[in-house]
Amino acid sequence: MKVFLHHIYEYRKGLRNLVLFTGAAEQRQFMEAKLRKCGIDYLVCPVGQTRVNVFFGNAACVDVVRRIGCENLSSLSPEHDFMLGIMLGYDRIKQCDRYLQRARAGGEPPRSTPQEAPFVERMIA
């Protein structure tokens, strides 16, 4: 629980806008009580039978997670996975690489080609 409490500290100090903590399901009541006591918006999503993902932080950020859904993070679209990673403060370059890898694996074609977007081609070259 030290890591969970440290995440609350970081959020309250402004170091994070959104936090994802994965913990034991048996600790759920404690975590929810602590977040309510601190007045922090949160969303709890079960991960199997024994664990939960707890998203907490800025109300708008948590609302975005609510809209995206958090039941099965591995099944998020490449775009939603990218958005969530950026919102959680993950390395932007690594998130870009992850997005491209997942989009290509899913067979998504690029939305524009150099012929359709000559400015993009010049910027890349």
**The pair of three-digit structure tokens given for residue 10, joined into one six-digit string:** 């970081």
Q: What is the CATH number of the domain that holds 51?
A: 3.30.2190.10
For residue 7, is it within any domain? yes
Q: Which domain holds residue 13?
A: 1-59
For residue 110, is it within any domain? no
For residue 87, the model assigns a pLDDT of: 97
For residue 114, the model assigns a pLDDT of: 56
**What's this model's pTM, rounded to 2 decimal places?**
0.84
Q: How many domains in the chain?
A: 1
For residue 108, is it within any domain? no
For residue 10, is it within any domain? yes
For residue 123, is it within any domain? no
Buried b (16+ CB within 10 A) or exposed e, 74-103: eebebebbbbbbebbeeeeeebeebbeebb
What is the Cα–Cα distance from 101 to 14, expressed in whole angstroms?
31
For residue 81, is it within any domain? no
* Tens place of pLDDT per residue across the chain (125 aa): 899 999 999 999 999 999 999 999 999 999 999 999 999 999 999 999 999 999 999 999 999 999 999 889 999 999 999 999 999 999 999 999 999 999 999 877 777 665 555 555 555 55
